[in-house]
Structure 1
């Protein structure tokens, strides 16, 4: 059960009712912060010089520690979870999605900011981007250093995420990640470094904007909002597994997954989404048994195209185009949850997201 912690910032009493003294706090944008834990809420431990425990600080405490926010927005905080994002799961995804859609339907906020661990932030952002139906800003932010670190980056990231959420030009950009003075689209954002504060990069596309405490600048136009799916009804989402290709790879793991009832397999292939002949043959057999197969790449950038090194038409495979293995998995889970299981319609969904 989510613990709701509500606080309104910057509501000093008005001295009088004349135009010059009316309390301006009521005119500030309303921002809902949904806290889920992560490094931004972490506290240092003694394991190493950079060791920490995620989720040691609440979302309310994070907001209280940045008094400058009272000039930006009226802020409500709800604690959805308090975990390291390596433990993020389908249930929390659905709680976030349903709560955001409820907020939108009731017009409870002008923008939503989610505090989140960075390890799976791109996955949560991508899931929400595909199921949330709104033009209001929905932004994820976090930190690479815990709140107790000497050079903690969390306060600055949270301030700038709320700053973007209050900006009128942020509407229509879908779900975004704001980290290290940079605004990323959920479609393109990827964590690329284990410890650097510059870890998030927009692979194959570039950032959609930049932010500092004084300005918000978008360098890309708003996205089309017509390619979204209904929120899946309940957890767990359909089982989709990722296979990491490597030299000398055999087919036994694929055969075991099929026997175990997997719904879909994403191949994190070498190069342009390829693998050994035994693997491709086993994946072909899996398709004939009703398993969906998507070819992605382990390289980290570039596009996986149809029918280049692998005959996708013959094998009834799907090419992931720009989507990483982890994002391909999520899109498959959403599609299967919504009854889309034909390779042709799944391929169209992968292509449509890129064209958007």
Structure 2
């Protein structure tokens, strides 16, 4: 039986980082190219044919629409090839959840797509990158990974892109899922799914465009006032995501100013700054024109709102349905 062919799309990050010391804290992200990385991985006996494309080699703090555009094109092209069984994206962990969620919205789900990173650079004691990568190959090679949308592999766990978020700045168990925790456990030798695929037969939810509209995230804190809010909303801003306290709450003056912005055509989404913040609709949301983010954190809510606005969707009720149903 022939080995599955997995296409690796590399963007840099800590998984390709170098410190120059096994114990040094500081390091340079995105130093190892994909060809060198695959040479290192080649001796692991991963049971798959691997080919790589270097999309970028940068710190993931610098990821944005230009890299997403190239990444989407490469992933879409790979998934369309008959001999490609799955795609792996290597990525820095700081914005990994945003790239994974974006790709989940703009790629079809008929083949596995896995995003993977590392918390320690390649020359550090206890480097986790090669194990995470081996786990990602295991997942991307499994036919049962299809129909689940984009998946994230970190720390022997598999997460759905919609659920995953980074919870720690150090240590290899740095990611969790909400409202679902991990959807599978994985090692280089085993893979156990916790349920059936949930996106069988579905195409991409949105067509990709690199021309994403401006959506601001406003972080609510004690003492935030309407004037401070207005300073964060420019003339080209088409949406505002509120990282609210508690269940998407905010000071009364800020709520009033946002209602005014909503009447002016700016779409407003209430999310929570809490790690596990589920935001339901309030009775007054209809009157104010607000949308509840449900389980999406502010950074993912921003991406979904950008995609909706870019697709021409501006009706708050329709936007709410998209947040409810993903």
TM range (shorter): over 0.9
Partner of 2:131: 156
Q: 1:67: how far off?
A: 2.8
Q: 1:95: how far off?
A: 1.5
Aligned with 2:215 (options 228, 234, 240): 240
Q: For 1:149 and 1:93, how far apart are their aligned partners in 2?
A: 29
Q: 1:92: how far off?
A: 1.1
Partner of 1:132: 107
Structure 2 runs not aligned, ≥5 long: none
Q: Does the Cα contact within 8 Å between 2:277 and 2:297 map onto a contact in 1? A: no
Which runs of structure 2 are paired with 1:145-294 in the superposition (5 Å)? 145-225=120-200, 226=202, 228-233=204-209, 235-294=210-269
Aligned with 1:316 (options 286, 289, 292): 289
What SS does structure 2 have at the residue aligned with 1:247? coil
Q: 1:55: how far off?
A: 0.6
**Does 1:142 find its partner at 2:132?**
no
Higher Rg: 1
**Equivalent residues, number:** 324
Q: Answer with 123-132 or 247-256: which moved more.
A: 247-256
Q: 1:106: how far off?
A: 2.9
Q: Does the Cα contact within 8 Å between 1:265 and 1:293 map onto a contact in 2? A: yes
Q: 1:254: how far off?
A: 3.0
What SS does structure 2 have at the residue aligned with 1:299? coil
RMSD of Structure 2 on Structure 1 (CA): 1.6
Q: Answer with 223-232 or 141-150: which moved more.
A: 223-232
Partner of 1:326: 299
- Aligned structure 1 segments of 4 or more residues deviating by more than 6 angstroms: none
Q: 1:316: how far off?
A: 0.7
Q: For 2:268 and 2:97, how far apart are their aligned partners in 1?
A: 22
Partner of 2:35: 60
Structure 1 residues 286 and 227, CA gap change in structure 2 (3 angstroms): farther
Q: Does the Cα contact within 8 Å between 2:112 and 2:143 map onto a contact in 1? A: no
Q: 1:269: how far off?
A: 0.2
Q: 1:248: how far off?
A: 0.8
TM-score by length of structure 1 reads: 0.87
Partner of 1:51: 26
Q: For 2:234 and 2:10, how far apart are their aligned partners in 1?
A: 39
Structure 1 runs not aligned, ≥5 long: 1-23
Q: For 1:213 and 1:273, how far apart are their aligned partners in 2?
A: 40
Aligned with 2:91 (options 86, 92, 116): 116
Partner of 1:17: none
TM-score by length of structure 2 reads: 0.95
Q: Answer with 115-124 or 333-342: which moved more.
A: 333-342
Q: For 1:53 and 1:258, how far apart are their aligned partners in 2?
A: 34
